[in-house]
Structure 1
Amino acid sequence: MMEQSVVSNMYGEITDDFLYFEDASDEFRGGKGTVAPLWKFLYEEAKGLCVTALCWSTEYNDLFAVGLGSYGYDIEDRGGMLLFYTRKKHTYPEFIFNTDSGVMCVDIHKELSELVVMGMTDGCVAVYSLLEENKQPICKATCLSPGKHSGRVMQVKWKKDDFDGKHNFLSVSADGRVVSWTLREGGKYSFLKEYDAHFPMSVQCVRWNPFHSQVFISCGLDWMVKIWDERMKSPVFTFDLRAEVMDVAWAPYSSTVFAAVTADGKVHVFDLSVKKYEALCQQIVVSKKKRPVKIEFNPVDPIIIVGDDRGHVISLKLSPNLRKKPENEEDQELPNGPEEEIAKMERLLSQTGEID
């Protein structure tokens, strides 16, 4: 608490920007907006590593995890790190975990925020607890574990606990498989089932819409972001961002808002309910010597975080136009509960063609 107070006093201007700054010029931008830089997060020991994963805690909305490793397949696996930062003390991580293999993906449990699962460069998956003082995984799938991946683990995701109260998660790997795992007593794994999940092109990220269960978004090194309805054979929206798209994320407050980062250092923010095929914001946020690789929305506050290939993480505040609630013809705010967000996306889908 003392450290947080000292940091808050030292960087009071940034805190004030986070709390109070609103870009008044948004009123004259025709619906477009900007992002304003806030805190920068850098751990000296992580400088030689690439940010490979970002994940906010849903229980403590100021806390987020940073996975560090490497995307280079021709580079020797030099190990990695898992760091936890809080925006209340951005100068040093709250938790530091060193890993034998590079970290590729991370997910924090929604109800038990002390549990975090990660996927590694060597194909292993591991679960850590922030409550464990020895900084070792409480469970880990080794080379001898049934179902262990033979390629890099690109995504991990917690599922709902099963009927016996056991924790479950999914892992997606470059070996073309999706594997479902469950944690058993004593820290052992049970291999449940696997699915074919081969993508013929290089896909950087796939994410389901947080409101509409049949809509997902994907991005790749072909410069494209695509939005899909699982009931249709082809994408319902396609966006050419003119550079390799490294990551994409849905906003937690709107079914039609998403953001992407591209290799040329830009953040792109779209709201399909405002402009279907044009970004509301395209802004350079990373210098030419660095490349942004990951992006995440905060679950509550109007900020996003962006990680680059030098181990840095920056936070950015969204201007008012990038987080406006929809208005009706009388310029009154409409309710934006889950039902309205689903209906908003359905209206967009109905304008793109017939659903199979």
Structure 2
Amino acid sequence: MQTFNFAQKHKDIQAEKVILDVGINVTTWDMHDTYANKPSPPESNEAAVDVRTQSLSSGERRGSHDATSTITSQVTESRASMLTMSVMGEPDPTPTLSATVDTSESGANPQWEKVLGSESILQHLVVMERVVTENIYQPKQATYRGMPVLIDPDKEADDPEGAPGGGSPDIMTSIGPTLDRLWSYSSTMTKGRNVSSMVWNKINQDILAVGYGQFGFNEQNKSKGGLTCCWNLKNPEFPERVFHCKANVTSLDFSTVNPNLLAVGLFDGTVCIYNVRNTSDAPVVDSFDCTGKHSSPVWQLCWIEREKALGEERSEILISISADGRVVQWSIRKGFECSDLMKLKRTARKNIQKKKEKTEAFISRQAPGMCFDFHSKGSNMYLAGTEEGLIHKCSCSYNEQFLDTYTGHTGPLYKVRWSPFCSDVFLSCSSDWSIRLWKQSELSPVLNFFSTTKAVHDICWSPYSATVFCAVNEGAVEIWDLGTNTLDPLITNLASPGIKLSCAIFSQNSNSVLVGDSDGQVSVYQLRNMSHNQPLKDTTVLTNLVDSTISSQTDRSGENKRKEA
């Protein structure tokens, strides 16, 4: 109310030139004058120009005061002419003045490239991609989480029951224990690659690291190299991090103290450590220049917390086992240093020594190491499986001798796992088609499981039940429940034709199991209609089963000795 209106000016009078890079405002009179001063266009455009001129001059022209320009102080006539010419298709005489018409010689807009290349826009795109993906996978992921499924009203008529797997819940319950496939982690870059190992992040249980690589020596030259991907539950369509390795990946493990560090073992014996917080494809440290590095495939890796004294900081060491017959510990506090924890020596068979007068001549004094597992209640004792089919109980305090040796397998050991509920029970699987249950005090297996005529590649205990474990062979994934049946698996899910299964891992925050195959897919299966007992009750069932089996074996061996006597 207390300001003066802008004084009316003639359209030939302009304000001072203000340099801005945001935009301009023009009136119809400026556009009319620009069109009138231009040379006549071709015949095809004459009619359009006449129509525009007539529309501008018929009813929109007013008195002399209306003929003045209403352009604000931020706009000049030169900018109006510039915008008009760019709209008409003529080249821009000053392309650097406005971002709306700024184009380089190659046709690209450097300001748009700057926006698209910024980290903030990439983060927003990742979040938006997660939102879209979660909308698509909502029924499956809600089932995975144990949350209610949101029914799409457009599809309610097609599936009135709303069961995620299709079908009525009553029908699914009557079928019995089954595996319901929810989704798979796969993309174009993982297509055709063998899934060699999987591991969950110790802090964020929704992040899964998957290693891709071939196991066979003859397949190394034919492969595409190694690949490590970090998948997030929020986006099963594409991995969050991708690390390309020079050799096939054979083992993985996340650190507990530093959950952003991922240790990767390669087929050529290299050990790499990646920082998953960075998008760089290069490892933080590797063992390429280390003097004591492995010379054969690193079949397993594991971060172990040191037994710290009072006043010391919490720290970890990395343990690796390789086909060169060595168990090595790595330290990253002062560079990347390594030292031998154990040298696995070959053990001669007793029956062979009886047949031959001379002792067996070994080509190599060391037995190739295949797998290991540290005890859950102490970081000083561990089990090591070898290619000979033997399981050695070792201690970090002794690097020259074994505490005990367990015999029973007749082929290379592929995996050995301590029970998370019973501290003196462990499982092992081998290429001799068998799975064996052991007790720490017994040097022979307590129970033997033979359900297939193929090598058993992987085993893992359930984190929710002491009697349930999963086994994977080339043709099927099996779920065993020792509290129900010790002769046959409770669930057997066959692989697709032409696909070989390679590894498995239980989910830590869901009643699901993940299975990797030779085609680069990690399938997520939900365990349905499984009896959920209390862990303490299941532990008692497993302990009683092991003790009763040992007592029966002892009685049987005593009867045999009496008969022989």
Q: Normalized against structure 1, the TM-score is what?
A: 0.87
1:157 equivalenced with 2:368 (yes/no) = no
Code of the aligned partner of 1:199 = E
Report the 3-state secondary structure (helix = DSSP H, G, I; strand = E; otherwise coil) of the residue aligned with 2:509.
coil
Q: Counterparts of 1:178-197 in structure 2 under 5 Å?
A: 178-185=327-334, 187-196=335-344, 197=384
Whole-Å separation in 2 of the counterparts to 1:90 and 1:255: 30
The answer to whether the 8 A contact 1:124-1:143 is kept is no
Report the 3-state secondary structure (helix = DSSP H, G, I; strand = E; otherwise coil) of the residue aligned with 2:135.
helix
Code of the aligned partner of 1:346 = T
Whole-Å separation in 2 of the counterparts to 1:275 and 1:306: 23
The answer to whether the 8 A contact 1:182-1:192 is kept is no
The answer to whether the 8 A contact 1:39-1:87 is kept is no
Whole-Å separation in 2 of the counterparts to 1:25 and 1:231: 46
Whole-Å separation in 1 of the counterparts to 2:422 and 2:321: 22
For residue 240 of structure 1, the aligned residue among 450, 457, 462 is: 450
Whole-Å separation in 1 of the counterparts to 2:200 and 2:448: 27
Q: Counterparts of 1:102-141 in structure 2 under 5 Å?
A: 102-141=248-287
Code of the aligned partner of 1:300 = N
Partner of 2:107: none
Partner of 1:254: 465
Code of the aligned partner of 1:301 = S
Whole-Å separation in 1 of the counterparts to 2:214 and 2:518: 8
For residue 347 of structure 1, the aligned residue among 523, 535, 544 is: 544
Q: Counterparts of 1:10-49 in structure 2 under 5 Å?
A: 10-18=136-144, 19=146, 20=148, 24-25=170-171, 27-28=173-174, 32-49=176-193
The answer to whether the 8 A contact 2:232-2:239 is kept is yes
Q: Per-residue deviation at 1:256?
A: 1.5
Whole-Å separation in 2 of the counterparts to 1:317 and 1:283: 12
Report the 3-state secondary structure (helix = DSSP H, G, I; strand = E; otherwise coil) of the residue aligned with 1:213.
coil
Q: Per-residue deviation at 1:262?
A: 1.7
Whole-Å separation in 2 of the counterparts to 1:351 and 1:103: 42
Whole-Å separation in 2 of the counterparts to 1:252 and 1:344: 16
Q: Per-residue deviation at 1:104?
A: 0.2
Check 1:25–1:171 CA distance in 2 against 1; reply closer, same or farther (3 A cut): farther
Task: Tell me the alpha carbon deviations over residues 59-92 of structure 1, each in whole angstroms, 9 at most, x when there is no partner.
Answer: 2122111001111211235420110111221000
Decide which structure has greater strand share.
1
Q: Per-residue deviation at 1:111?
A: 4.0
Deviates more, 1:125-134 or 1:266-275: 125-134
Whole-Å separation in 2 of the counterparts to 1:215 and 1:183: 33
Check 1:341–1:176 CA distance in 2 against 1; reply closer, same or farther (3 A cut): farther
For residue 415 of structure 2, the aligned residue among 192, 205, 227 is: 205
Check 1:15–1:325 CA distance in 2 against 1; reply closer, same or farther (3 A cut): closer
Code of the aligned partner of 2:532 = K
Whole-Å separation in 1 of the counterparts to 2:466 and 2:135: 37
For residue 176 of structure 1, the aligned residue among 325, 334, 337 is: 325
Q: Per-residue deviation at 1:24?
A: 4.0
Amino-acid identity (%) = 28
Partner of 1:214: 424
Aligned residues between the structures: 338
Q: Per-residue deviation at 1:98?
A: 0.6
Partner of 2:490: 280
Code of the aligned partner of 2:542 = M
For residue 519 of structure 2, the aligned residue among 292, 306, 310 is: 310
Partner of 1:329: none
Check 1:194–1:240 CA distance in 2 against 1; reply closer, same or farther (3 A cut): same
Task: Tell me the alpha carbon deviations over residues 218-264 of structure 1, each in whole angstroms, 9 at most, x when there is no partner.
Answer: 11222211122221111112111213212111111122210112211
Partner of 1:331: none
Report the 3-state secondary structure (helix = DSSP H, G, I; strand = E; otherwise coil) of the residue aligned with 2:549.
coil
Q: C-alpha root-mean-square deviation of aligned residues, in Å?
A: 2.3
Partner of 1:292: 501
Q: Per-residue deviation at 1:26?
A: 6.4
Q: Per-residue deviation at 1:4?
A: 1.4
Unmatched segments (≥5 aa) in structure 2: 1-126, 149-163, 345-383, 389-410, 555-565
Whole-Å separation in 2 of the counterparts to 1:347 and 1:237: 13
The answer to whether the 8 A contact 2:205-2:509 is kept is yes
Partner of 1:336: 535
Partner of 2:87: none
Whole-Å separation in 2 of the counterparts to 1:161 and 1:94: 31
Deviates more, 1:170-179 or 1:90-99: 170-179
For residue 199 of structure 2, the aligned residue among 32, 46, 55 is: 55
The answer to whether the 8 A contact 1:176-1:199 is kept is no
Q: Per-residue deviation at 1:342?
A: 4.4
Code of the aligned partner of 1:45 = M
Unmatched segments (≥5 aa) in structure 1: 327-334
Whole-Å separation in 2 of the counterparts to 1:352 and 1:139: 49
The answer to whether the 8 A contact 1:105-1:120 is kept is yes
Code of the aligned partner of 1:350 = D
1:228 equivalenced with 2:438 (yes/no) = yes
Whole-Å separation in 2 of the counterparts to 1:245 and 1:107: 21
Deviates more, 1:10-19 or 1:218-227: 10-19
The answer to whether the 8 A contact 1:119-1:153 is kept is yes
Q: Per-residue deviation at 1:149?
A: 1.8
Code of the aligned partner of 2:466 = S
Q: Per-residue deviation at 1:102?
A: 0.9
Check 1:175–1:190 CA distance in 2 against 1; reply closer, same or farther (3 A cut): closer
Deviates more, 1:108-117 or 1:14-23: 14-23
The answer to whether the 8 A contact 2:182-2:524 is kept is yes
Code of the aligned partner of 1:157 = C
The answer to whether the 8 A contact 1:115-1:129 is kept is yes
